[in-house]
Structure 1
Amino acid sequence: MAQAPGQEPIVVGLDPDPGRRAALDWAADEADRRRLPLLVALAQNVPTPGYRPTGGRPSWEEWNDALHATGDRVLKEAVASVESRHPRLRVSGLLAEGHPAWVLREQARNATEVVLGSWRLNALQELFASSAVTLPLIAHAPCPVVVVPESELAPRREPYFVVGVDGSRHSAAAVDFAFDEAAVHGSALRALYVWQPPRLGLVDEDEAVHECRRLLSETVAGRTADHPEVELRQEVVPGHPVQALADASEHALGLIVGTHGHGGFTGMLLGSVSQGVVLHARCPVITVPRA
């Protein structure tokens, strides 16, 4: 069913593990705050049709029926949990067959944003887990994608968002979204421009910093007039963009970046900085495609 303009739902990918509900909670709070409907989507890969095992194990039909029954139960429990926390929120559930990246990509076509979870693994496991769902979704989704980490002990969050700026059109879209997000949350906004000093020191550092400040000021220009309630702090810091943004994210409500800025390579669908912060940030990461 088509949604009214401006009322496209926030879509959240549901983890079948009941112990992993950070993304669901974040999405429900965001939908309630923005007065948007919430769609809880559970994607299930199904066994190969026609599978006929021997030795008393269940057939494909029995296995598929059991999988659907379990998924339906998990989905209903998740929807009921959200409804109990947010009685006025419009919540619906979707049980879909297919790979989670494909299912969420399809739902992203008519979504305000898509939310999914991430959990702390070792570096190699995290890369492979993200490569399967998160990174392909970010690369192709036409709407912002929010990656919410599952943390056993969440750090204390300060009332501000961080947005990465590099002067590109992608970071301009991220800045627009960041001002809106900060306004919705009643929080401040840190606009961060990270520049990498050359190893050989052949560039005048003062001149380089001045140019970075100019690009940062130009990128945020005009946004404060539209959002006078948002306290803005502009910062230029040296270092590697991924490391600097990850460090800045430690106590933030969220880190917002464009999906492909000046740090990317021609032909890549997802910038290296976007990919890096998704893997290393310590708060929810919101990736914003160019408008």
Structure 2
Amino acid sequence: MSRPGDRRPIVVGVDPDPSRRMALAWAVDEAARRRLPLRAVHAEGVPRGYRVREMPTWEERNEALHKAGTQVLEGAVDFVTARHPQVEVDAVLARGDPVWVLREQSHDAMAVVLGSRHLSRAQEVFGSASIAIPVMAHAHCPVVVMPEPEHITQEPAYYVVGVDGSEHAAAAVDLAFEEAALRGAELRALYVWEQGPLRIFDEYPPQQEARRLLSETVAGRHARYPEVDLRHELVVGHPVQVLTDASAHALGLVVGTRGHGGFTGMLLGSVSQGVLHHARCPVIAVPSRPA
């Protein structure tokens, strides 16, 4: 996620509702921990609630959007300054679709942070109302999706990361170690063994191969972060259920994403989509080749 001398900002999408500050709080805390600047981004939308005969002119609509967006960002900057006065913050008021705006911002970002107010029902997660899935699929950096309201963590603090031996999972493990080291937290690395419809007569050899992949994936990274208390295990079950259960009181759940695709239903793997809907802690989605 980071490299020496890196000054890429933490980008956060600012919710117009001032009561929804979990994403902004996480983002400014992360910026403070990493000593990075913060960029608060708000994409202007279309005002609602007008009757046809009351429809404003183009100039009036643009003025109203600009005024509302400016107020949203001013409130966000005030929140950031009060929480961490030392964090350098700038505000971007952009026009356009929020998915496109945040995707463009991700080109030079350390991470993009979003709130999850649209993730309470499956039809919202997978419908056009949610921006989390398309942003996760097309972003050029890790994407953090924060739940509302705040979840309850457990002591000692820990992160969970899913491992399957693939390239996108390896990138997720890198970030999971980094986050755990920054927070002084433990790390649980899980390889989920999902039994197929036809049960294998002798499952021991393939399970041993899975354990080998898990051990090899975390070994070199643990050497770079010896201060992280690591636990890794193979668990039998469905990946979404296992990762969701394991992360119930975690600081965060880190998963890799395949990205790509043009339709919402085809953007991410089923595990990434599943944990995004069911997890009650922050979900950090990491592309296989982060910028």
Same fold (TM over 0.5): yes
Q: Which residue of 1 aligns with 2:14?
A: 14
Q: Which residue of 1 aligns with 2:177?
A: 179
Distance, in Å, in 2 between the alignment partners of 1:185 and 1:203 is 43
Bigger Cα displacement from structure 2, 167-176 vs 191-200 = 191-200
Q: Which residue of 2 aligns with 1:103?
A: 101
Distance, in Å, in 2 between the alignment partners of 1:194 and 1:241 is 6
Task: Pick one of 245, 248, 251 that aligns with 2:249.
Answer: 251
Q: 1:257 to 1:54 in 2, by over 3 A?
A: closer
Task: Pick one of 91, 94, 99 that aligns with 1:93.
Answer: 91
Counterpart amino acid of residue 174 in structure 1: A
Q: Which residue of 1 aligns with 2:189?
A: 191
Residue aligned with 1:177, SS: helix
User: How big is the shift at 1:203?
Assistant: 4.2
Distance, in Å, in 2 between the alignment partners of 1:61 and 1:5 is 44
User: How big is the shift at 1:208?
Assistant: 2.8
- Taking structure 1 as the reference length, what is the TM-score of the superposition? 0.89
User: How big is the shift at 1:135?
Assistant: 1.1
* Kept in 2: contact 1:46–1:98 (CA 8 A): no
Bigger Cα displacement from structure 2, 194-203 vs 172-181 = 194-203
CA RMSD of aligned residues (A): 2.3
* Kept in 1: contact 2:18–2:75 (CA 8 A): no
Counterpart amino acid of residue 256 in structure 1: V
Distance, in Å, in 2 between the alignment partners of 1:123 and 1:290 is 26
User: How big is the shift at 1:280?
Assistant: 1.3
In structure 1, list runs of 5 or more residues that go unmatched: 48-52, 262-267
Distance, in Å, in 2 between the alignment partners of 1:135 and 1:206 is 36
Residue aligned with 2:127, SS: helix
* Kept in 1: contact 2:77–2:91 (CA 8 A): yes
* Kept in 2: contact 1:127–1:279 (CA 8 A): no
Over 6 Å off, 4+ runs: none
User: How big is the shift at 1:5?
Assistant: 5.5
Distance, in Å, in 1 between the alignment partners of 2:40 and 2:281 is 22
Q: Which residue of 1 aligns with 2:35?
A: 35
Counterpart amino acid of residue 77 in structure 1: G
1:100-149 deviations in whole A, cap 9, x for unaligned?
A: 100000000000000001025222223226x7411111111111000111
Counterpart amino acid of residue 259 in structure 1: T
Residue aligned with 1:222, SS: helix
* Kept in 2: contact 1:46–1:97 (CA 8 A): no
Bigger Cα displacement from structure 2, 273-282 vs 85-94 = 273-282
Q: Which residue of 2 aligns with 1:121?
A: 120
* Kept in 1: contact 2:133–2:267 (CA 8 A): no
Q: Which residue of 2 aligns with 1:154?
A: 151
Task: Pick one of 218, 221, 229 that aligns with 1:220.
Answer: 218
- Taking structure 2 as the reference length, what is the TM-score of the superposition? 0.89
Residue aligned with 1:70, SS: helix
* Kept in 1: contact 2:27–2:113 (CA 8 A): yes
Please show how residues 275-290 of structure 1 align to structure 2 within 5 Å. 275-290=273-288
1:125-178 deviations in whole A, cap 9, x for unaligned?
A: 23226x741111111111100011112x62234411000000001111111111
Please show how residues 131-170 of structure 1 align to structure 2 within 5 Å. 132-151=130-149, 154-158=151-155, 159-170=157-168
Counterpart amino acid of residue 111 in structure 1: A
User: How big is the shift at 1:46?
Assistant: 4.1
Q: 1:199 to 1:43 in 2, by over 3 A?
A: same
* Kept in 2: contact 1:101–1:132 (CA 8 A): no
Counterpart amino acid of residue 99 in structure 2: A
Q: Which residue of 2 aligns with 1:264?
A: none
User: How big is the shift at 1:182?
Assistant: 0.6
* Kept in 1: contact 2:45–2:65 (CA 8 A): no
Counterpart amino acid of residue 28 in structure 1: V
Residue aligned with 1:150, SS: coil
Residue aligned with 1:82, SS: helix
Whether 2:234 is the aligned partner of 1:229: answer no
Distance, in Å, in 1 between the alignment partners of 2:244 and 2:14 is 25
* Kept in 2: contact 1:46–1:64 (CA 8 A): no
Q: 1:21 to 1:225 in 2, by over 3 A?
A: same
Distance, in Å, in 2 between the alignment partners of 1:154 and 1:272 is 24
* Kept in 1: contact 2:151–2:249 (CA 8 A): no
Distance, in Å, in 2 between the alignment partners of 1:125 and 1:221 is 39
Counterpart amino acid of residue 98 in structure 2: P
